[in-house]
Amino acid sequence: MTQLIEKLNWRYATKSFDSSKKLSDEQVNTLAESLRLSASSFGLQPWKFIFISNDETKKELLAHSWNQGQVVDCSHQVVFCYNENFNEDDVQKFLEDTAKTRGAPLESLAGYGDVMKGFLSRMNSEQKISWMKNQVYIALGSFLVSCADQAIDACPMEGIIPAEYDKVLGLEGTGWKSLVACPVGFRSADDKYSELAKVRFPMEDIVDFIK
Ligand SMILES: Cc1cc2nc3c(=O)[nH]c(=O)nc-3n(C[C@H](O)[C@H](O)[C@H](O)COP(=O)(O)O)c2cc1C
């Protein structure tokens, strides 16, 4: 078995964190960097991630998280957001960033820019939001793997009320919208879920190999 598969078997959606154990700054920075490195459609990164270690803020969020205790027991509650105002200006910013990072003239990216702007312009706002949510979920998926890689426990969490999160986090009016969350930290010794066998469909039911 590869080391990665062992780590993926080790991880589970943690129901109870040991609140006395906190992530080090280095661990938090590594998780943040792994989010920054997530793949996204065209590389457009229409997202933002908020790491919350403040106890008062976590307590406020608990009421808007179906009272799931992980939100307060975790070391950090991580909130994944998309940008509801994402538009052509953001594409332009990305093009400028690409030109600068790769030392290419901005004009050489004009065709690529047109493709991206055309792609966005063909979507209505609902489709654009759905596209952005897909990007954010890709980041969530790679985040879970990054957590497992560092032996950090996590619980992907859709059981939140995004509009209430937006209020608590001061996002209202900024264009940023909460979508999904993921408390991280270290499992509590008495979390019985850590010992449950993984329930997964057999390989032949979910994977086809066309040779
Ligand atoms: C998008 C998403 C949302 C989830 N929301 C919650 C949640 O709100 N609360 C919770 O306890 N688990 C939540 N889970 C965890 C799943 O129930 C869990 O991943 C699934 O049962 C598989 O178990 P495992 O992750 O422990 O292997 C969520 C998982 C995903 C991927």
The CATH class of the 3-93+119-206 domain is alpha beta
Give Cβ neighbours of residue 167 (< 8 Å, ≥ 6 apart).
Answer: none
Mean pLDDT of residues grouped by 10 in the chain (211 residues)?
95 98 98 98 98 98 98 98 96 97 96 96 96 98 98 98 98 98 98 97 98 97
- pLDDT score, position 65: 98
Q: Atom 9 of ligand 1 has which residue's CA nearest to it?
A: 157
Given the CA of residue 193, which atom of ligand 1 is nearest to it?
A: 26
Cα–ligand 1 centroid distance for 20 (angstroms): 23
Q: Atom 20 of ligand 1 has which residue's CA nearest to it?
A: 13
Q: Atom 18 of ligand 1 has which residue's CA nearest to it?
A: 13
pTM of this prediction exceeds 0.85: yes
d(Cα 67, Cα 166) in Å, to the nearest integer?
Answer: 17
d(Cα 117, Cα 126) in Å, to the nearest integer?
Answer: 17
Query: Quick one: DSSP state of residue 16?
Result: -
Q: Which of 79, 157, 192, 194 to mutate to test the pocket of ligand 1 (most atoms within 8 A of CB)?
A: 157
**Lining residues, ligand 1, CB within 6 Å:** 12-13, 15, 68, 155-159, 180, 198
